[in-house]
Amino acid sequence: MSAAFPLFLTLTGQTVLIVGGGELALRKARLVAGDGGDGRGAHLVVVAPEVHPDLATLAAEVRRRPFAAYDLDGVTLVFAAGEDEDEAAGVADLARARGLLVNVPDRPALSTFIMPAIVDRGPITVAISTGGTSPVLARRLRARIEAALEPGLGRLATFLDGFRTAVRAVKSDETARRRFWERVIDGPVAQRFLAGDEAGAHEQLVKILNAGDAGDAIEGGSVALVGAGPGDPDLLTLRALRVLQNADVVVHDKLVDDRILDYVRRDARRVYVGKSKSCHTVSQDEINALLVREAQAGHRVVRLKGGDPFIFGRGGEEMAVLRAAGVAVELVPGITAAVGCAAATGIPLTHRGLAQGITLVTAHGANAGGGSAEPALDWTALARLDHTLAVYMGLSKAGLVAERLIAAGKAPGTPVAVVQNGTRPDQTLAVGRLADLGALAASLTGPALILVGEVVTLADPSKIATDVFTTLSSTPGRLGDTTLGSGLKAAV
């Protein structure tokens, strides 16, 4: 058990004295002065011969002179934050003699209180302390907690506070009130509010209140269309992580890494609807019906997709079906494969003098029978654009892509890259020429992304699977008309 007892002080209207005028004093002042609108601002008095301009702005009173004992008159809290250690020790001695709370930064033996690392989601405050043993560790812990807490939690607390009187009138029993608030905070009302739909959250909470004991049946479910990113769980967004951990049901695809599924609540139900080429475990119509059915049963559903739901992920179709059924939908974007794979291989998607833009296409079109057909792309426009071309789901049609682009005027020597399992531990990068794209792809199995363009010459040499290129090597040192660095010589 810590020797320090945690508590929170109300400093509004109280006088806080800071002895010192430098950066350290400024940091302490920012913690206690507040921003003028949070109700936490203290009456700040600064004593020092020289005072930092920003500190002078925060202070209600600045005394530009050395500290004197009478500066402690009427003070509630003291920070001895000057650079002179002897002066700081003297200030601490005098403050303790008067029974005042005093802090000397980085000198816990002289302090009667320790400043914690603070996560501020006003009016919600989280404080972390190591008892003065390791301030850096406390700051690290603060960063982790801060990342895990939604930025809108403070506003949510204020929003809920506005309903306290109404809830007390409807729910006279304390246990009933507690259970009511638990449902609200864990359910769609809070979910909608944190997703930015404050009007919808207000409307639903009013509806639940007006329904009295029948309110449980009104809450209803919701669906979040969540992008899981290209594979690496570290690339999952904070919002995606929070929604996953709040889900009752997770409907996921084949391309979602198992390590990402580890973030799902243990008691949540997982439904696999994975698809691969020519092997659809569950049809899209069945998935749509499943999402509607689970939401209408009152569940918080996450539809988890690899990459981004709105980039060749059919998220738009699912969104339209859910909205038509009156189901609340939240959209949580993910890092799409082109962005993730490019970063993982050191290939910039745009680069001055090499690519002025990026075009995303899929190599699979839909035919009347529901299978895959050649996509209806304007190959001439794609060949002419000064863009990096990112081809999704193109491994089985890599030869066709190369054939169509070359026929449309793209140089056969244009650099290309095939990234398999991008961002994952088993990632493979193969690079070569557009004319060799079919042979490059033939040695790999999906999932893979194809990049076409001069930016491929900037790929990180250490990421290249050199065994793939040995079979394709000819004249080393050049790729088409582009001079290569030594790291790509084996690729040509």
Give the list of residues 6+ apart from residue 87 with CB closer than 8 angstroms, or none: 19, 66, 67, 80
- Rounded to 5°, the CA angle 147-153-155 comes to 140
Is the backbone peptide bond immediately before 447 cis, with ω within 30 degrees of 0?
yes
CA atoms within 13 A on the CB side of 109: 2
Is 258 marked active-site?
A: no
Selecting among 254, 275, 463, 489, the annotated active-site residue is 275
Token pair listed for 489: 């010589």
Q: Is 275 considered catalytic here? A: yes
Structure tokens at 163: 């309903």
The secondary element (H helix, E strand) that includes residue 47 is strand 43-47
DSSP labels for 268-323?
Answer: SEEEE--EETTEESS-HHHHHHHHHHHHHTT-EEEEEESB-TTSSS-HHHHHHHHH
Q: What does R_g of the chain's alpha carbons equal in angstroms?
A: 30
Report the amino acid identity of residue 293. Answer: R
The count of other CB atoms within 10 Å of the CB of residue 452 is: 26
The answer to whether 366 and 284 are in contact (CB under 8 A) is: no
Side chain identity at 224, as an amino acid letter? A
Instruction: Quote the tokens at residue 240.
Output: 């995606």
Q: Which of 232, 248, 253, 257 is catalytic?
A: 253
Residues acting as catalytic residues: 253, 275
